[in-house]
Amino acid sequence: MSSHTDIHVQEVVRKAHEELRQLMRHRLQITRRIGTVKQTIVGLATLFGDGMLNDELLELVDRKSKSRRPGITEACRTALMEAPKTMTARDVYDQIQETTPLLFASAFGSTTMRGLAGRPPQ
């Protein structure tokens, strides 16, 4: 390729990189804001009762009874969505251990997380 073409390609890559970084920052801000709004709704429901929330809202704030409790999948999803950079399985493991240590309390959680990280939990 000619140097003229290389300059244009580099400019496109630079702009795409800049846009991606901006979108990742926005995603993190939005994820945090969603968490804040959910906590507000859950706090109000705790004070005034779940009856004030419709089924859709109960589901959106994870208050609707489920057959399964939130667990490793949700913790992994949250860790990945809130990550400012690409994460390895080890990064996800460390993040979950830091933010949700109760997942390590059960034998199932411990075994699953050990498999995720490739080493036993400490």
Considering the domain architecture, whether residues 90 and 110 belong to the same structural domain is answered as yes
Of the residues 65, 86, 103, the one at which a domain ends: 65
Contact 88, 75 (CB under 8 A): no
Amino acid occupying residue 119: R
Tell me, yes or no, whether 72 and 23 share the same domain. no
Question: What is the C-alpha separation between 46 and 29, in angstroms, rounded?
Answer: 26
Q: Which of 65, 96, 114 is the last residue of a domain?
A: 65
**Does the CA dihedral 92-108-101-29 come out positive or negative?**
positive
Does position 121 have pLDDT exceeding 60, yes or no? no
Reported as a pLDDT band with limits 50, 70 and 90, residue 122 is very low
Same structural domain for residues 109 and 76? yes
Q: Which of 34-38, 76-80, 100-104 has the lowest mean pLDDT?
A: 100-104
Q: Which residue has the higher pLDDT, 99 or 2?
A: 99
Please say whether the beta carbons of 120 and 89 come within 8 A: no
74 and 60 share one domain: no
Q: Which residue do the tokens 């945090």 mark?
A: 32
pLDDT score recorded for residue 114: 65
Q: Give mean pLDDT, residues 90-112.
A: 75
pLDDT tens digits along 2-54: 788 899 999 999 999 999 999 999 999 999 999 899 889 988 888 888 888 88
How is residue 40 written in tokens? Answer: 């507000």
**Using an 8 Å Cβ cutoff, are 104 and 76 in contact?**
no
**What average pLDDT does the chain have?**
81
Look at residues 65, 94, 111 and tell me which one is the last residue of a structural domain. Answer: 65
Q: Provide the residue range defining the domain that includes 89.
A: 67-122
* 90-107 mean pLDDT: 77
The pLDDT of residue 12: 95
Domain identity same for 74 and 58:
no
SS3 string, the chain, reads: CCHHHHHHHHHHHHHHHHHHHHHHHHHHHHHHHHHHHHHHHHHHHHHHCHHHCCHHHHHHCCCCCCCCCCCHHHHHHHHHHHCCCCCCHHHHHHHHHHHCHHHHCCHHHHHHHHHHHCCCCC
116-120 average pLDDT score = 57
Kindly tell me if the per-residue pLDDT of 120 is higher than 50.
Answer: no
- Total domain count, the chain: 2
